Amino acid sequence: MNALNSAATSLFDVLLAATLWAGSAVTLILWSGVFGVLALLAFKRISWQKGIASAKDKIKAHMIEIRLYQDDLVVVASAVAKVLARNVVYLGLNFGPIVPLAVPFMILTAQLVVRFAYDPLPLHERGAAVMAGRGTLLEIELAPGVDARELRVTLPAGLQAVSPLVRVPSEGRAFQEFVAVESGGHEVVLELGGARETKLVHAGLVAPAAFQPRRVSDRDLFAIADADRLPLLWPAERSFGSESPFRVVAIAYPYRDQGWLPDGEGGILITVALASMLVGALALKPLGVQI
C-alpha cells in the first residue's frame, strides 16, 4: 500500500502543479471533472454497452405497454413484473463495472483531502499557560493485545506539552495534549517494545504540499466499515507495518476555508462526487456512453 500511495502522490504532485495557481476551488472542480470523464471512458470499455442499451429499451417498451393496456389488469400486472425484472438486470449491468472505479475514486479523493482539507496548527507563545482543552490532543491506539504501560512519547522542541501522557492499558490507548510553539514540520516520536515510530505535526502559516491528521496501520488494509483506518485514504505519510505495535496515531488539524465550497474531508468528498457526476452527465452523449 505504501508503494501505491507513493506513486499516486508523485503523480498528483505533477498533475496538480499545473492548476494550483488558479486556487483550490478551481483545482478541486477541474480534476474532479477530469476524473468524471475518464471514469466514463473506463466504464464504456469494461461494461456491456449493448446489454445496457437493450435493457433500457425493454424497460421503455414495457412502460409503453402499461400505458396502452392500462384497462387490462392482467397485461398491466405482467408488464409491471417485466419492468421490475428488467430493472434488476439493468442495475446489475451498471453496478458490476462501477465497483472497480471505486478504487481510483478513493485515490483521487484521498490526494485532494491531504492537500486541501486542512490548515497547520496555530502557534502559541512558548512557555505561556494553556488551559486544558485549548491545545491539540494526540491520540494513540495500539494494536490488539499490546500493553500501553511501557509506551513513551517524546515531543520535539517545536511542540509543548499541556498535559502528561495518559495511558489507558485496558483499551490499548494513550492521550496527550500539546500546543505548537514553532512553525514547520515536527516529528513526535513514539516508542514501545523496541519499536520506534513517528507522527508528523505541521504548524504555522505555511502549509506543506500534503499533510494528514492520521497515520494508520497496514493491518487495516480492508477496513471498509471504518474508512478512517484505510491506509489508501491517508497517503501523505507511510502507514505502519502490520507488525508494528501502533495502529492509529492521530491529531486534529483545523479545516481550511474553501470559500464557497464546503470545508473538511466531507466537503472535499461532496465536491469531488458532485463535480465528477455533473461533468460526466454532460459528457454522456458526446462520448456515446450507455449508463
How far, in Å, CA of 194 to CA of 198, rounded? 13
Distance CA 130, CA 206 (A): 23
Query: How far apart are the C-alpha atoms of 105 and 33, rounded to whole Å?
Result: 12
Average pLDDT over residues 153-177: 94
Instruction: Please report where in the chains the cell 472542480 appears, as a residue.
Output: 29
- pLDDT given for residue 222 in this prediction: 67
CB 254 within 8 A of CB 119: yes
Q: What is the mean pLDDT of residues 105-131?
A: 90
- Reported in sequence order, the residue ranges of the chain that DSSP labels E, i.e. its strands, are 136-142, 152-154, 159-161, 166-168, 173-180, 184-192, 195-203, 214-216, 246-250
- 45: cell is 470499455
- CA atoms of 276 and 268, how far apart (whole Å): 12
Residue 17's pLDDT is what? 87
Asked if pLDDT for residue 129 goes beyond 80, the answer is: no
- Listed in order, strand segments (DSSP E) in 11-162 are 136-142, 152-154, 159-161
Q: Which fold has domain 136-250?
A: Immunoglobulin-like (2.60.40)
For the chain, where do the domains classified as CATH 2.60.40 start and end? 136-250
SS3 letters for 247-275? EEEECCCCECCCCCCCCHHHHHHHHHHHH
Is 21:98 a contact under the CB 8 Å cutoff? Answer: no
**How far apart (Å, rounded) are the C-alpha atoms in residues 146 and 126?**
35
- Average pLDDT of span 65-75: 81
Distance CA 280, CA 274 (A): 10
First to last CA, the chain: 32
Query: Of 8-22, 80-94, 119-133, 230-244, where does mean pLDDT reach its minimum?
Result: 119-133
Interval 26-42: pLDDT, tens:
999 999 999 999 999 99
The helix/strand/coil state of 220 is helix
* pLDDT for 214: 96
**Is residue 149 over pLDDT 70?**
yes
* More confident position, 140 or 194: 140
CA 229 from chain centre, in angstroms, equals: 10
Q: Is the CB of residue 230 less than 8 Å from the CB of residue 247?
A: no
Please give the DSSP secondary-structure letter assigned to residue 120.
Answer: P
Which tens digits make up the pLDDT trace of 50-64?
Answer: 988 898 888 899 888
Q: Which pLDDT belongs to residue 72?
A: 77
* Residue 85, pLDDT above cutoff 80: yes
Look up residue 86 and give its amino acid: R
Is pLDDT of 94 > 70? yes
Give the type of residue at 267. G
What is the predicted pLDDT for the residue at 161? 93
Does the pLDDT of residue 224 top 70, yes or no?
no
pLDDT of the residue at 223? 63
Task: With both helix axes pointing from N to C terminus, report the angle between 2-17 and 73-116 in degrees, rounded to the nearest 10.
Answer: 80
- The residue among 159, 146, 111 whose CA lies nearest residue 217 is 146
* Confidence category of residue 187, pLDDT binned at 50, 70, 90: very high
Rg (CA), the chain: 25
Residue 283 pLDDT > 70, yes or no?
A: yes
Residue-level pLDDT at 212? 96
Tell me the percentage of the chain whose pLDDT exceeds 90. 51
Q: What is the 8-class DSSP label of residue 94?
A: H
**Can you give the pLDDT at residue 113?**
95
Three-state secondary structure of 68-83 = HCCCCHHHHHHHHHHH
**186 near 156, Cβ under 8 Å?**
yes
